[in-house]
């Protein structure tokens, strides 16, 4: 899958402003971003719902908008929100979809995978939000797609449903399915994705493996301010002075182990206990917050 | 179903799926589907790891347009009969009206034919309007519920989605025609259609006109709740202004000209001409019998009406291209 300099506007509003990335076969790629960052628009262009305003998009080697049927025989789509016929049961819905999807798998198998076996005889109107999302997922993977689009798949799911979904996605990945996922759960991206891209206001702010995106973001080392010490008595670590917030000392360090070594050395020489010391690697959340911070700063 | 069975279904789905499918959804059409899915499933699950673009992908059975349309047809057909509103408006209403309005006219005559049989043909025309309402509701509901969007995200081409929905609604109309026609012949003593070909052609053309109109007007209908606001005027005009029960000649004179040019009037007129083999269009309650005409003259008489239907259809198609939307308007 290849996206080159994609732009997409709605009227005067430019939702996607020139993004490029490629997703290799078998890879799980996550698009992250806040609401309105352009994730869904990007996905809808890739799914073939709309053409790009400019730039090119290739999915499985073809133009998804012009060659819809050909491309979609091999893809599965789970929309952020997609409808069902409320009159039909879960089983009837899956059976109906099987009648017009090439290479559809047996209904029981797919319902089992998403944990809806028990609900096969239930009308769709009676499903909970999370169950509906899982039915959504069942339809998306029904044709054993080579490429699966998941637009915020676990939004509205309870933890159990989320676990089922993650397991299914991991199984599909293990079997060689390429997955393009959008999410605003950073944990989800961190758990599942080979590579992530962070979208911000229609542009890609960062692309790479989770490690790469996180690298250059510092480790946070925190511990409660030891009794009897003031902030001024704390050492500098690798050239960084600490911040003290609500009685908690915070260092940010580019390299974790040397920073800890310095702190432990200092504590030993002063006979200070560093109870409750924590070193936390940067998470995508931090990157996210930093981006938001930069954006606020640039205004 | 016990939870033990449930968990086994999750874990052993690949090996036991035949049994579980049987237990779970042994409904109509399932056996057929299973056979089809079997080979693909083995590629899909048994050896998923071997899923390369090569042989596995080629072994998959790829569906074509007829299968897509058939799947969509069966889906629409099932949803139609499952929904009480669509069953009532789309199927029962013309039949009930025919019993209530046409049957009492069976001792009268108009244009040389039984008035109840005359009205029955009118209600066959009216069935096109109820099917229009039904399609309009259906398209708007599918759009607003994001069903259309979901269907469009599958490999099924847009033409097959429409063909399936039109086909299912058309099959309902056909059922009504057989029912009403049978009633008319069996009870009202109507003759068999004089020109079945012209009758069928007019029916199909009229159906297409109203189906395309439904798709076009769905674009003007903001929500499922607003659908009656669009549908009711069409329904009323067609019910009372298109010669369904009483001939157009019984309307005020200045209304007759416009009424003749509304979409349903030429359809009803030509259906009558084809059924009774007489040139309908200017009949009156007090006037005498219309002369019988042969097939050739029947077609000649119908030509103008059919052109008018074609023009309406073309107009509706142009409108449809401009107005139809796959997704609800945002906000």
Of B36, B144, B146, the CB nearest to A82: B146
Gap between the Cα atoms of A176 and A209, Å rounded? 18
Q: Please indicate whether residue A247 or residue B210 has the higher confidence score (pLDDT).
A: B210
Is B125 inside any structural domain?
yes
Nearest to A113 among B13, B21, B154 (CB): B13
B296 within domain boundaries? yes
Q: Give this prediction's pTM.
A: 0.80
Measured between beta carbons, the chain B residues lying within 8 angstroms of A101 are: 63, 154-155
Residue A279 is inside which H or E element, if any?
strand A278-280
Q: Is the pLDDT reported for residue B228 higher than 50?
A: yes
Query: Is the Cβ pair A77, B154 closer than 8 Å?
Result: yes
Q: Do A85 and B75 touch (CB under 8 A)?
A: yes
Ranges of residues in chain A whose predicted pLDDT is under 70:
216-217, 292, 295-299
Q: Which of B21, B68, B80, B154 to mutate to test the interface with A (most CBs of A within 10 A)?
A: B154
Q: Which of A60, A72, A89, A109 to mutate to test the interface with B (most CBs of B within 10 A)?
A: A109
Render pLDDT for B91-118 as a digit per residue (tens, 0 to 9): 999 999 999 999 999 899 999 999 999 9
8 Å CB contact of A109 and B156: no
- Which of B268, B241, B246, B245 lies closest to B256 in space, CA to CA? B241
- Summarised one tens digit per residue, pLDDT across range B177-194 is 999 999 999 999 999 999
Going by their DSSP bridges, the two strands A195-200 and A28-33 should be labelled as parallel
Q: Kindly determine whether residue A96 and residue B154, on different chains, have CB atoms separated by under 8 Å.
A: no
Q: How far is A98 from chain B (nearest CA, A)?
A: 7
Please, which pLDDT band fits residue B59 given cuts at 50, 70 and 90? low
Q: Quick check: A47 contacting B, CB < 8 Å?
A: yes
Closest CB to B33 among A49, A98, A118: A98
Say if B55 falls within a structural domain: no
- pLDDT of res. B133: 94
Residues B9, A297: Cα–Cα separation, whole Å: 54
Assigned domain for B105 exists: yes
Residues 6+ positions from B293 with CB-CB distance below 8 Å: B273, B277, B278, B279, B301
Looking at per-residue pLDDT, the higher value among B160 and B52 belongs to: B160
pLDDT of A297 reads 60
Residue A203, min C-alpha distance to chain B (Å):
23
Q: Tell which of B31, B43, B44, B46 to mutate to test the A interface (max A CBs under 10 Å).
A: B44
> Is the complex ipTM higher than 0.85?
no
In this prediction, residue B201 carries a pLDDT of: 97
Cross-chain Cβ contact A99/B71 below 8 Å: yes
Q: Average pLDDT, whole number, for chain B? A: 83
- Provide the token pair at B223: 């929500």
- B43 backbone dihedrals φ, ψ, rounded to 5°: -65, -35
B72 contact residues in A (CB cutoff 8 A): 100
Q: Distance (Å, rounded) from C-alpha A62 to C-alpha B53? A: 14
Give me the number of domains chain B comprises: 1
Bridge partners (DSSP) of residue A197 are A31, A207
Q: Is B54 a domain residue?
A: no
- Under DSSP, is residue A161 helix (H, G, I), strand (E, B) or coil? helix
pLDDT given at position B48 = 40
| Domain of B126, in residue numbers | 68-323
Sign of CA dihedral A231, A236, A241, A247: negative
Which two three-digit tokens encode residue B271?
């259906």
Helix, strand, coil in percent for chain A, rounding step 5: 35, 25, 35
Position B176 in a domain: yes
Instruction: Identify the pLDDT of residue A298.
Output: 57
DSSP codes, A69-114: HHHHTTEEEE-SS----TTSBHHHHHHHHHTTSTTPPPHHHHHHHT
Within a domain: B51: no
**Chain B residues near residue A118 by CB distance under 8 angstroms:** 1, 3, 6
What pLDDT was estimated at residue A191? 85
Residue B266 falls inside a structural domain: yes
Which of chain B's residues have a Cβ under 8 Å away from the Cβ of A122?
none
Name the minimum distance, in Å, from the CA of A71 to any CA of chain B: 8
């Amino acid at each position: 899958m290849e996206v080159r300099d994609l732009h997409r506007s709605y009227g005067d509003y430019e939702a996607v402003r020139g993004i490029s990335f490629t997703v290799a076969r078998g890879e799980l790629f996550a698009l992250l971003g806040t609401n309105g960052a352009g994730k869904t628009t990007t996905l809808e262009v890739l799914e073939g719902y709309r053409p790009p305003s400019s730039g090119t998009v290739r999915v499985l080697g073809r133009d998804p908008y012009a060659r819809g049927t050909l491309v979609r025989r091999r893809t599965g789509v789970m929309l952020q929100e997609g409808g069902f016929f409320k009159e039909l049961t879960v089983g009837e819905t899956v059976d109906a979809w099987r009648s017009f999807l090439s290479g559809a798998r047996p209904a029981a198998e797919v319902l089992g995978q998403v944990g809806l076996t028990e609900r096969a005889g239930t009308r769709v109107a009676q499903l909970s939000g999370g169950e509906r999302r899982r039915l959504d997922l069942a339809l998306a993977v029904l044709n054993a797609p080579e490429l699966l689009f998941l637009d915020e798949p676990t939004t509205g799911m309870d933890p159990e449903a989320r676990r089922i979904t993650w397991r299914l996605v991991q199984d599909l990945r293990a079997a060689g399915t390429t997955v393009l996922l959008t999410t605003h759960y950073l944990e989800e991206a961190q758990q599942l994705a080979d590579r992530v891209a962070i979208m911000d206001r229609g542009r890609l702010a960062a692309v790479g493996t989770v490690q790469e995106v996180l690298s250059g973001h510092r480790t946070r080392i925190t511990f409660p301010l030891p009794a009897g010490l003031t902030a001024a008595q704390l050492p500098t670590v690798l050239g960084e002075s600490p911040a003290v917030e609500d009685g908690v000392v915070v260092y940010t360090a580019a390299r974790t182990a040397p920073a800890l070594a310095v702190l432990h050395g200092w504590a030993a020489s002063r006979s200070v206990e560093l109870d409750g010391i924590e070193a936390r690697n940067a998470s995508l959340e931090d990157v996210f917050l930093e981006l938001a911070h930069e954006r606020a700063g640039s205004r | 179903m016990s939870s033990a069975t449930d968990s086994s279904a999750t874990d052993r789905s690949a090996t036991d799926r035949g049994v579980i499918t049987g237990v779970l959804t042994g409904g109509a059409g399932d056996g057929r589907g299973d056979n089809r899915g079997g080979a693909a499933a083995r590629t899909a699950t048994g050896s998923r790891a071997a899923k390369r673009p090569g042989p596995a992908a080629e072994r998959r059975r790829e569906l074509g347009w007829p299968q897509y349309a058939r799947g969509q047809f069966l889906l629409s057909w099932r949803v139609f009969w499952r929904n009480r509103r669509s069953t009532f408006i789309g199927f029962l209403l013309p039949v009930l009206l025919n019993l209530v309005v046409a049957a009492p006219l069976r001792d009268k005559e108009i244009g040389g034919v039984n008035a109840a049989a005359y009205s029955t043909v009118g209600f066959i025309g009216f069935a096109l309007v109820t099917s229009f309402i039904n399609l309009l509701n259906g398209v708007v509901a599918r759009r607003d519920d994001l069903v259309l969007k979901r269907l469009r995200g599958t490999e099924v081409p847009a033409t097959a989605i429409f063909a399936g929905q039109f086909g299912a609604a058309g099959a309902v109309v056909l059922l009504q025609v057989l029912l009403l026609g049978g009633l008319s012949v069996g009870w009202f003593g109507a003759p068999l259609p004089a020109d079945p070909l012209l009758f069928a052609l007019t029916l199909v053309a009229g159906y297409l006109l109203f189906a395309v109109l439904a798709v076009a007007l769905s674009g003007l209908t903001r929500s499922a709740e607003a659908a009656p606001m669009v549908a009711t005027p069409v329904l009323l005009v067609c019910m009372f202004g298109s010669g369904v029960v009483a001939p157009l000649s019984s309307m005020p004179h200045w209304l007759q000209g416009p009424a003749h040019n509304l979409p349903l009037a030429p359809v009803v007129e030509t259906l009558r001409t084809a059924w009774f083999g007489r040139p309908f269009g200017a009949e009156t309650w007090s006037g005498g019998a219309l002369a019988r005409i042969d097939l050739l003259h029947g077609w000649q008489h119908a030509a103008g009406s059919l052109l008018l239907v074609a023009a309406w259809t073309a107009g509706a198609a142009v409108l449809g291209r401009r107005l139809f939307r796959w997704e609800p308007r945002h906000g």
